[in-house]
Structures are given as C-alpha cells and as structure tokens.
Structure 1
Amino acid sequence: MPRCDGEIVQLRAAGVGVVVDLSGDVPVLLHWGADLGELTASGLAALASTATPAVLNNAPDLPRTLTVWPTEADGWSGTPAHQGHRAGRRTTPRLRLTEAQLDGTSLVMRLTDEVSELHVELHYQLDAAGVLSVRSVLTDRSVGEPYDLAGVSTLLPLPRRAGELLDFTGKWCRERSPQRTPLHYGSHVREVRRGKPGHDSPHLLLAGTPGFDFGSGEVWGVHVAWSGNQRYLAEQLPEGAGAHASVLGGGELLTPGEVRLGAGEVYESPECLFIFSNAGLDGIAERVHTRLRARSTHPANPRPLVLNTWEAVYFDHDLDRLRGLADAAAKVGVERLVLDDGWFGSRRNDTRGLGDWYVSDEMWPQGLGPLVEHVRGLGLEFGLWVEPEMINLDSDLARAHPDWLLGPSVGLGAPSRHQYVLNIAHPDAYRHILGRLVALVEEYRIDYLKWDHNRELHEAVHRDPAGDRPAGRAQTLALYRMLDELKARFPALEIESCAGGGGRVDLGILARTDRVWGSDCNDPVERQQIQRWTTQLIPPELIGAHVGDRHSHTTGRDTDDSFRFATALFGHAGIEADLTRLSTEQLAKFTAWAGLYREFRPLLHGGRVVRADLAGEATLLHGVVGPDSALFCWARLASSVEGQSGRVRFPGLDATADYQVRIRTELGLPTGRQVAAPGWITEAQRDWVRLPGAILTTAGVPLPTLDPQQAMLIEFRRE
C-alpha cells in the first residue's frame, strides 16, 4: 500500500466520491457524496481551496475545519471523535498525521497524539457498491496510568440541503417503524443501552433533501455494524462544520469504565457504513444489498422453504405429532424443518431449563435421533432452536454455577421473560456452551441453528470480588467469537439471528449468520410494514418471513390465506402453522404457494428491491426487479377515502422496454370494493397483457381498489 502523505486523494466507486486532504496535521474530508469525476491536480486543489469557510464574529481567529478526527483543538464544539482521560487528566488531544497509505479505494491514515499517548489508525474503504466503511483502531502507547476511553465516534459531513432525518423505532412485534424529523440545530442522538440493537433499533440514520422518498431525493445514511450498545447522531451547529453544514455519524456506546487501555492494548471500533444515494431510499437499499450479496460468506444455495414448529406445537413435543407435521410439510414442499423451544432439560414452559443444553430424557427418551432421521428420510434439512446467551435460575446450570450469571454481585435485578443473561465472556461458561453446541451439531448433523436472545442486558457486569466491571462489550465480542468458532468447525452450518423476533438485526451479526428473523409477528398486516423497512438495510433472502395461522397469536387478528401467502413470499419464506390440522383444500393452497416460492426464488433473492411512492399508508406497492422479469405486490392494509387508485407508476422497470404482464392467481384472487376491476387487470387475470415500459413507469396504470388486508401479485416479463 503506497504512501500518500501530503496529497489530496480521491476515492471513487459506483457513482460515489470521497475526497480527503492529507496536507495538514489532521486530514480533512473535503467531499462525500455524488462522484465528482476524475479530478485533475488543479481540480483537487480547487476543492481544497474552496473548503475554507468564513471567520465568524466572536469565534476562533482561524477558519474552523472539520477533520476526519474532530476535536476542540479544531474549534469543533460538537461531539468529538474520541473522549477519555488518564486518571482525570490528559483530556485535550492534539493529533498529528504520521503516515497515510492509499491502495485503490482503500485509505489508511495513522495519527499520533502526544497528549493522550494514543495512536489512531483510521481506515476508509469505498467498496464496489459505493458504500464507505470506516473503522478505527486505538492503541495505548503509554507506560503509565491506563487510558479510560469514554467514546469513539465516526463523523462525516453533510451539506446544508440535507435538512430532514429518518430513523426507526418500535417494540416487540412492531419493529422498524419509521419516524421523520427536520434536522434542527443541536444534536439528534439515538442511544441503544439494551446490550443489543433492540426492537426499537435506529436501524439506520438517514439525512436527505426535504421530502426524500423511496424513488427521489439525495440521501446520506449511516449504519453501525455492531450487535451491542450503539450511538447514532446527526448534529448541526450554527457555525456549521467547516465548509459543511452538519455531521452524521455513530459508533459503539461505551459505559463508564468499560474500556481501560493499558500499555500496548488496543480498542477496535465497530465498522460504520456510510451510504449515499441520489435516487432516494431505494438507492440506499440497493447499495447495501449489493455489498452484502458480494460477500464470500453470502448464502450461495437457494434459500430453503422452512417449517418452524413453534406456532404449530409450542412446548408440546410429541414424537408422533412431530413426525406427522414433518410428513405434511414434505408434501406441501417444505425443505427444512426447525424444532423450536422445548426439547432440552426441564424445559416444559418458559420458566425453567434455559442453560441445560442436553436433550430431555423425559420428552425424548431416545434422543432427537428418531425425529431427525425421519425428517432426513423425507429429504428435509433439520434445524434446532437454541438460546445460548440466556439462563433460567431454575436450571441445573444456574444452580451449579451462579458465578456465571451476568449481573451485579450485590444481587440480580428483575428477571425478564423469567430469564437472566449467561456471562459467555467468562472463559469456563464460554467453553461449556460452545462444547454443548458442538456436541449437538455433531451428534445430529444439524444444518441450521435458530439462535434466540429474548431479553435485554441490564446491569451487564462481570461478578468480581474486587468490584464488578462493565461487560456489555465483552459479551458481544464473546458472541462473535463463538459464532466464528462454530462456523470454522462447521462451514455448512447456517445460523439465524433471532432476538425475541427482530431485536438483533444489524450487519455485525449478519457478518456471522445467514439470516435474521424479521419479527415474532407473523400477522401480514404488521409484516407488510416490518418487511418494507427491514429491507431498507437487509436483502429479502436474509429476512425470515413465515406464513402463520389464519388467527395471529401476537395480534388476535384474522387474515385471509392469500394475504398471508403474498406477504411471506417476499423474504426467506417459511411456515409457522400446524399443517396436520388443515383441510385438503388448505394444504393445496400451501402447496401452490410453495411452488410459487420456488419459481420466483431466484428473482426475489437476487433482484433489486423497489417501493413505490404513494400517498398515505393504506396501500403499498413493492416489488423485486431483475434484468428480464419482476414481481410486484399490490397490498391494501386499511380502508381509505379515495375510491380509485389513479394511475400508479411501477418503479424499477425499464421505460424503454415492453413488458408482458399478468396477475398470478394461484393463491386466489383478492376481494375488492368495486363492481369490476380496471379492464387491463381483468384481462391480465386470464392471459398476458402487453404494456410499454413508458406507460408503466411514467404514465402509470390504474390498480384495483382492494378490501383491507388483501393483496395481489403482478408478474412482469420483459419482451
């Protein structure tokens, strides 16, 4: 990697540009956004010369700059790049660039601070999808007191026109609910203190031109790829941020005393991903999806149709009943069966047994072998539910090793879902849990682990006679290490991140797992919105989406079969229902849906996710578009005042092409509030209809007025 000290360097990829000035003591990020083209030396110099803002009244006498590592030394009064001290001293860092190296679109900057005696290595990597990843490595170069690191934030500048923010909140069974706000003066800060991203995870923090939507506007976004405590922020000061208006950033949220660096010790920050799009939110999603699909670890095989036993049998683990369920699953086209909670120790309900990862002799006197062999005899893969980071006090493990619990020595707080957290950063606890998982995977040749995490990490401290120490970060790193070891031992093993449903959906966990469970809620009315916004970051093939019973046990709502099927199709599809209790007619619907999933799986799991910009939330139009085909879902969630849709435009199609269009009717036709559907819809229910791309993408076509909780599948083939 050649040195580039003192230069102005330009990183370019996929229509995104990053320009860094390395000529000063601390580098300055001159530009992040749309590609400026290949600038000449004079062009780069011009960009640098125009980066000097005015000197304001009642302000520092030199122009303020926003460096790649902003501190008060630069006149920056916002959140600093790092905070900390040595025994209450050395709190005014003065960093200086010692070396910079550039290799293609990878830039490494090394800085030294003589005040704090820290060495900082800052990595910028612009990938082929135009996503900029930033991470930092801090090394203690002192020989005295330890350095108490209070926080490390990665901050990138935003232009004045980025005046509106979008992030997410939610709760169990209503994850990733969007919320918008203007970017005001001051700090917009989202802190995660749950030990995992949580059901109210910010997910992404996005700033854009006011009114940005799925298909329009410039958008700048950040995602903290970390499965523990996090911090996101957008910050605007009246004096601006150098020549820019504001900053966007994030990092790990450190609790007091959590990171104390001694001589030679290192802190590595989580990776922050910065994404720019001049094509709205769909452009942001496309960049992240492209990045994920390019990974060597991205699932290469078709995502098998899953049956998970939870909502089918709950804790009622009867071998004959489960064999019958497997038989029914195989007949409708299921390719993987996952045995959920209740198979181990004394686990007959959710109050006991967590931590005892031995097959229950009471429920399974011959072990899981008879069920596993039956499942494999049907040609299905076998998966198993586990929750390795959790423990019930009513368990053999808790009674034998109370010191393995993660919590204060003075006494544990209240349980959550009758459980506590197991300190897997404790070396003995780690070895025990890893050993049990290895033994299970080896004995039963397990293909898939559904890895759950059903409570938050409150008072996450190591128990220590000398005084409890914060342990949230150590717990997350131990989890990563355990997942990495399992993957190294069993390269074909797939793992799902399930955290009380969708409580741990981030790119840190997805670097080590093969899908996320989008939500515990299988109600399609809720799922349409949950999946709509989960795909803002995660491509459909990595999001578990299951068909549940007609009556949802999480909402109490009843929904039609066709609506549930259409909703679950747009993800890594599965079933969460007792097929043995269904009629022949109902099983035929599941079989038809399974056939549709296999037919469209290559498109849905490789195409571009698009979402139409519509007025209101009563109707949704979303789809996946490939080079030669597309599949869209027209869904109505609630009633609305308007009786007609008007001309609706289909995003993502080619305006210069012609398309054959038809309505897929295998799941049954939706009901509507109309005497007759638009004429072209009626015709497309019988046969292919030819429509020019210009009409579909620019003029739009009328769509039927569906009843609430109804959906229609529309297929496109390019001529």
Structure 2
Amino acid sequence: MGAQETLGGGGDTLVIGVRAGRPHLDYWGPALAGGRSTLLDPRLLERAGAHGMLDAGEAFDLFPESGVGFTGAPALRAWRASGSFVTQLAHSGTRTTPEGVELVLADARAGVEAVLSIELDPATGVAGFRSRIRNLGVEPLHLDWVSCAALELMDGEVMAFGGRWAREFDAHRFRPGPGLWSSEARTGRTSHHAPPFLIAGEAGFGDSHGEVLGLHLAWSGDHRLFVERLRDGRLQAQAGELFWPGEMVLEPGASYETPSLYAARSSDGLNGLSDRLHPFVRDRILGGRLRGKPRPVHFNTWEAVYFRHDLSELKALAETAAGAGAERFVLDDGWFRGREDDTAALGDWTPDPIKYPDGLGPLIAYVRGLGMTFGLWVEPEMANADSDLLRDHPDWILGEPDRVQPLGRGQYVLDLTRPEVSEAIFGQINDLLAGHAIDYLKWDMNRDLTHPASRGRPASHAQTLGVYRLIDRLRAAHPAVEIEACASGGGRADYEILRRTDRIWTSDCNDPIERQAIQRAFSIFFPPEVMGAHVGPAASHTTARTTSLDLRAMTALFGHMGVEADLRALPARELDALKAAISLHKSLRPLLHGGRLIRQAPPDPGAIAFMVAGDGRALASLAQIETPRYNAAAPLRLTGLDPEALYEVRLVNPPFRPQAAMKQIPALVRGEILGATGRWIAHAGLPTPILRAGEIAVFQLNRITR
C-alpha cells in the first residue's frame, strides 16, 4: 500500500495516492469521516487486466506518460536533439504547501523533474492543478506538450463551449465515443470559438441535478483542452498551453510551469458548480477587491456615436446619461489622433487635436461635474499599419521579418516581448492616466495572432506573459484605476486575466435575445458583477433585430449594468422606464453582485429563467426567447428559497400591452403584491403573464417571516 495525502475543503475530501512511484487521484467527493484517507483501501482501486493490452493494463494516473506504458495522449511530450524522448518519472518526495501538496517526480536518466502541485480551496472546495518541468540534463529539452494534470471523468456527457464573435459561450453536449475530442485555440487569446473550459457529468445532468465536474484553464493565450476515451473505457481530460513548433525549449537548469487548471465538482448540477466557483472567483481570483464595492452603472459611447466624436454632442449625451442614473461615462473608440475609422491610428495614444483641441480635460471635467467618473477605451497591444508608431518602428510588430501576414481590422499585434515596445506603450498609457482623472480603462484586443514570432522564435507564450506584465505594471502605477477585459467582446474571458481586471465585456452583441443565452452560459463560471451587460439600441447593430426597452433593460439588470445607445433618441416613456430599471438595479446591487445565482427550469422550453437570492431577498427573471409552445403559461417554479419562510412577491414589470393578449389576468400579473412560502413557490409556482417571443417577466421576492 502506497502513501496517501488528504486535502479537505468546501465539504469535500480529495485523496492523492502514490503507488509504485506513480501519482493517483484516488478519491474526490463528499467529505470522508474525519477526513481520514485511511478509510480508503487502495486494493479497492485495482482494475482487472484485459487481453490485447500491456500486462499491467492502461497506466493511467495524474500525470500519465508513454514511457511507463500509457497508450493514450500523455501528459508530457518532451525530446532532445540527441533523439531521447522516453521519460519514466517516479515519485521522489512530497512537500506540503499552505493549501495543498507538491508531488516531486524525477527521472535521472532522462534528466527531467516534474513537480505536480495540487490545492483544494478550504472555503469552496475548488481544486487547482498545475505542473512544473525542470531540465536536469546537459542539453536543451524541447517541450511539445505539458498538461496541468490528467483527470478521470465520469462516463456520461460532456458540455463544451464554442461560439463566434457576437455569439460567445455557445454550449453543446456530447457523449464521448472512441478516440479523442480536442478543443484548441491558436488565436493568442482565450478565443470566441474554443474557450478553455468544459463540464463533464452523468448523463442528463442539469441545472439542479446530477454529478458534474467543471474544468477551467486560467490562461489567456493559446491552449488545448481534450477528452479522450481510453482503450479500457475510462475517460481522461487534460488541459494546458498550446505551443508553436519549437516554442518551449528549456536550457539546462531551466523550468516551465503550466497555467493553473481549476476544477470543481458538484452533486447538484450546474447550480452547485456555480455555488463553488462564484465565491472562489470573488475571494481568490479577484482577491475580494469587488466585495461590497458598488459596480458603477456605465454609459458607453460606442453604439451612440461610433467614431463620430463631437464635444458638444458628447456633453449632451453625458448630461442625458447622468440624468438617467449612469455613474461612469466611458469614451469608446475614436478619441485619439487620426482615428476616423478602424483602419488607422492605433498605437498613437494622444487625443485627436481636431476633435479635442484642448485635449480630453474639458470633457472629463464636464463628466465629473455631472457626478460621473470617466473611463476610456484603449487597445494597447495593437497598432494599425497606418499609424505613426509603425511608420517610426515598422519592426515592432509580432511576426517574422520580410513575411507578409494578414491584417486584422487593419492592424498588427505589437511585440510586447521586447522591452522597448512594452516601455513605449506603457509610457503612452501611463501619461494618459497620470495627466487626467481617468478611473477606468476598457482594454480591448481585436485581432487574432497569426505570426506569433519575435526575433526569429515562436513567442505566443512570451506575448501572453508580456500582456500580463503590462497590465500589472499599469495597475501598480495607478491602483485606483479599474480595467475591463475586452477582446472583440468575450474573446478573452478566463480566470487569469480576471486576476488583474475588474470586468469582462461579455459580448459585442447587445441584442437581449442573444444576450440571455450568452449570459446564462457565462454565469456558470463567472459571477454577475464581472459580467458587462449593456442596454443597447432598439435595433441591434449585430443582429438587426428590434427588441423592446423592457427586454433590453431587464436583461442588462442582472450583470454589471450599462447603457450603450443614443439616449437622446429614446421616447420620454422609454427614458423613464430606463431610469426606473437603473434605479432598481442600484437598489438591488448588493443582492445581484453578492447573492447566489440559481438557474431555473422555465415553464416553456423556449424560455430562459434564473434567480439571484440572498439575505432574505431574491430577483427572478423569465425571458421568452422563442414563440411559446402553448398558448397559456405554466407557473414559474423557483428553487433555492427558504422553504419555511413567507415571501412578499411582486412582478416588477407588469405588461403594458393591451389586455386582449390575456383574457384573464392573474392578480400578480396585474401588479398586486402577494404572499407565498418558499415551499409553495418551489412546488406550485408563481403565475406568469402570457409572454410572446421577446418579452420578459421579472419578479421581486422579499422574505417577511421565517
């Protein structure tokens, strides 16, 4: 019997065993009595061996290697120019850390050491896995792949996430068959099409039922995430950084450490998963810096004026926005020298002398005089081909010399691995922040990396670290400035970028029909307070669909709320409704940004429903996305309330359309306040209005007795 290490946290126990020199994840589930791993007899983990395979069977463990008899995709692929590629790492020691253990594996003959770090957050039970490879040999070690860890999945279903620009976090399910399914991103960001997270669980798992395991790779660059069915029927999942050919070469004595793979398990479906991940993000990823800090309601100028910047028009917009309740005015793209469209001027971060003859100061002073703080859009990692920066320094782009690479939005990626480039960009942004009362940066990244090379070497890894260093340096110089992570919308959404930012722009699509699905999937891994959610124009510029102000406002209400439309064009009744929605959002911010988000089963399959509950209050949303299947709505059952408590319930937004749409209107739908227990609401439900496609009902619940 080998050694075992036990970690506990969040009501879970995680047991790591070492047998025959190999690391194993022996148990991860509900807390064992007293947390004692001695309750686990390793003989219970033995598997029968089948013919047609190696005598010892499939050598699967936490860090499987081909050299020890594993025939699936290994956790390490390394080689030397001499031809050596076989590794047979064996346990050589265990070190305890404040929240976990480090298992040291070594192969003296191969000249390789691997350190596996495993942590379990005491409060939430979220586990963190990463590995570090050190070259103990005398010649360079080439790394083709290093996994954070290999985890066994339940044999059921996998929920993966794909999408595209303006349709991010598109969830799809599949049952893994024979072979390997892989999701890879080579765009230099977490990507719209292959974000680095997935969920695996028992067949048919849902929002509130089923055993599930969620995986999230905290890395903002190229990555790979895969699920493989092994020959003995087991399923493994791995995640790690995706290297370009020859990118990761360790000189003698050098090391490489993977990003962290965060994993959480739940016996209560996706809601149970979020119950662990949301507080983990709030306290560990964000470091608690947003707890109790009201998230200011934004007004963003983009869909109001685009590149058309006129000082008097912007002041009028600011005045209207402040009157509607906005607390932060964000000047989006188009403010800097020579920027008339998206083909020029990126990299020249000084105010346009024609649009702003006296600089940004007068606009900032006006905005602040209205009681709002001021934010600014920047894209520091990029430069247009048509820019003074690249005319002066054409060699500052990421790529190989004398190679033509395709443009993206008329721009190139700057080589932030070079100190002189990073220093120049830091200097420009630092001057802006030091010289103006700017409280917020919307940090965009609108171009995929296509030739990620620097000085003749692949540099995607180093570029990602360069972005982190630049943000970290600016934050250190201006600690009060908040930063939003944006990459053509939700193209850079991961826990590592969130460590150094305060908001994620979820999508460039403000169409609330699309946003309901986008935000629902986003909410599995991220809490609402970091989810940028804006009220856009009635006619969406990404989908051309026209939606009501009610649906747009009530959809944005549940995130970090903002407005991104020309408010001067709103009819007076709609502007009043928007003011009321913003006022409601402000009154409920402690709940919305600190409560428990619980996705619900809607009464119609073409609807999306969820609730945020906490501190005796709750706010629930029912959005009808498609034409209802039936002509009368079933009650909305809401789980997650105190079953014995009595709640005062009201419909926040009673329908204003003609009563002919409903021959009979329930009292709750008419706007009357009713009382019901949490148990009644969960089992019998609340009466709902008859919703047509594109309509929404929002219920407010306040506990009045226990």
TM over 0.5: yes
Q: CA deviation at 1:657?
A: 2.3
1:490 is matched with which residue? 478
Q: Distance in 1 between matches of 2:571 and 2:632?
A: 37
Within the alignment, does 1:331 sit opposite 2:323 as a pair? yes
**Cα gap change, 1:562 to 1:78, in 2 (>3 Å):** same
Partner of 2:282: 293
Is there any run of 5+ residues in structure 1 with no aligned partner, and where? none
* 1:270 pairs with 2:259: yes
Distance of aligned partners of 1:41 and 1:237 in 2 relative to their CA distance in 1, 3 Å threshold: closer
Structure-to-structure mapping, 1:354-503, within 5 angstroms: 354-462=346-454, 464=455, 468-503=456-491
Alpha carbons of structure 1 residues 711 and 574: separation in structure 2 relative to 1, 3 Å: same
Q: Is the 8 A contact 1:673 1:705 kept in 2?
A: no
Q: Secondary structure at the match of 1:424?
A: coil
Query: Pairwise CA RMSD of aligned residues?
Result: 1.9
Name the residue aligned to 1:586.
574
Distance 1:13 1:211 in 2: 27
* CA positional deviation for 1:270: 0.6
Structure 1 residue corresponding to 2:229, chosen from 226, 230, 236: 236
Aligned with 1:707 (options 692, 701, 705): 692
Q: How does 1:124-139 map to 2 (within 5 A)?
A: 124-127=118-121, 128-139=123-134
2:138 to 140, 143, 159: 143
Shift of 1:406: 1.0
Pick which of 608-617 and 706-715 moved more: 608-617
Q: Which amino acid aligns with 1:388?
A: P
* Residue 16, structure 1, aligned to residue 12, structure 2: yes
AA paired with 2:437? R
199-208 vs 505-514, which moves further: 199-208
Query: Shift in Å at residue 452 of structure 1?
Result: 0.5
- 1:714 alignment partner, SS class: strand
SS at match of 2:160: strand
Q: Which range moved further: 100-109 or 352-361?
A: 100-109
SS of residue paired to 1:492: coil
**Residues 364-390 of structure 1, C-alpha deviations (whole Å, 9 max, x = no match):** 111100001111111211110000111
Q: Which shifted more, 166-175 or 408-417?
A: 408-417
1:614-661 Cα offsets, whole Å, 9 max, x none, are: 476411111211131100111111103212333432122122322211
Structure 1 position 263, deviation (Å): 1.7
Q: Which amino acid aligns with 1:130?
A: G
* Pairs within 5 Å for 1:5-404: 7-40=3-36, 42-44=38-40, 46=41, 48-87=42-81, 89-103=83-97, 105-127=99-121, 128-144=123-139, 146-158=140-152, 161-240=154-233, 245-295=234-284, 296=287, 298-300=289-291, 301-404=293-396
Give per-residue Cα distances to partners, 1:57-98, cap 9 Å, x unaligned: 122223544222111233221111111111152211111222
Q: Which amino acid aligns with 1:525?
A: I
Asked whether the 8 Å contact 2:604–2:633 carries over to 1, the reply is no
Find the counterpart in structure 2 of residue 540 from structure 1. Answer: 528
Decide which moves more: 192-201 or 435-444: 192-201
8 A contact 1:191–1:229 mirrored in 2 = yes
- Quick check: 2:603–2:635 contact (8 Å CA) kept in 1? no
Q: How far off its partner does 1:674 sit? A: 4.3
Which structure 2 segments of 5+ residues have no match? Answer: none
1:104-149 Cα offsets, whole Å, 9 max, x none, are 64111112122431222211110021110111122222222x1111
Higher mean alpha-carbon deviation, 60-69 vs 446-455, is at: 60-69
Distance 1:654 1:621 in 2: 19
How far did 1:669 drift?
A: 4.4
1:554-565 equivalences in 2 (<5 Å): 554-565=542-553
The residue aligned with 1:698 is 683
1:575-607 deviation digits (Å, cap 9, x = unpaired)? 001123334333222211111110111100001
| 1:573 corresponds to which of 542, 551, 561 | 561
Which residue pairs with 1:529 in the alignment?
Answer: 517
- Tell me the equivalent position of 1:682: 669
Deviations 1:20-69 (A, max 9, x none): 1135312221122333333546413x1x1211111221222235442221
Secondary structure in 2 matching 1:428: helix
**Contact 2:535/2:562, CA 8 A, preserved across alignment:** yes
Alpha-carbon contact 2:406-2:450 (below 8 Å) kept: no
Give the distance between the partners of 1:119 and 1:305, measured in 2 at CA.
50
Tell me the secondary structure at the aligned position of residue 124 of structure 1. strand
1:598 aligns with 2:586: yes
Residues 672 and 705, structure 1, Cα contact 8 Å, conserved in 2:
no
Hey, what's the Cα distance between the residues in 1 that align with 2:210 and 2:586?
35
- The residue type paired with residue 220 of structure 2 is S
Counterpart contact for 2:130–2:149, Cα < 8 Å: no
**TM-score normalized by structure 2?**
0.96
Which residue is 1:652 aligned to? 640
Closer/same/farther in 2, CA of residues 41 and 125 from structure 1, 3 Å limit: closer
Contact 2:591 2:615 in 1 (8 A): no
* 8 A contact 1:162–1:219 mirrored in 2: no
Per the TM alignment, residue 704 of structure 1 is displaced from its structure 2 partner at its CA by 2.5
Between the aligned partners of 1:41 and 1:377, the Cα distance in structure 2 is 62
Once residues 219 and 667 of structure 2 are traced to their aligned partners in structure 1, the CA distance between those partners, rounded to angstroms, is 48
Q: Give the C-alpha shift of residue 676 in structure 1.
A: 4.0
- 1:458 aligned partner, one-letter code: T
Distance verdict in 2 for CA 1:408–1:275, change over 3 Å: same
Letter matched to residue 28 of structure 1: H
Letter in 2 for 1:508: E
- TM-superposed deviation, 1:434: 0.8
1:136–1:678 CA distance, 2 compared to 1 (3 A): farther
Tell me by how many angstroms 1:6 deviates. Answer: 5.8
Q: How many residues align?
A: 700
- SS of 2:495 mapped into structure 1: coil
Aligned-residue offset at 1:214: 0.8
Tell whether the 8 Å contact from 1:673 to 1:706 is kept in structure 2 after alignment.
no
Give the corresponding residue for 2:606: 618
Question: SS at the partner of 2:131?
Answer: strand
Counterpart contact for 2:13–2:29, Cα < 8 Å: yes
- Quick one: structure 1 residues 35 and 502, their matched pair in 2 at CA, closer, same or farther if it must change by over 3 Å? same
**AA of the residue aligned to 1:277:** S
In structure 2, the residue corresponding to 1:439 is in which secondary structure? helix
Question: What SS class does the counterpart of residue 536 from structure 1 fall into?
Answer: helix
SS at match of 1:326: helix
Corresponding residue SS for 2:469: helix
Question: How far is 1:488 from its partner?
Answer: 1.2
Separation of aligned partners in 2, 1:367 and 1:522? 31
Contact 1:660 1:689 in 2 (8 A): yes
Q: Look up the match of 1:716.
A: 701
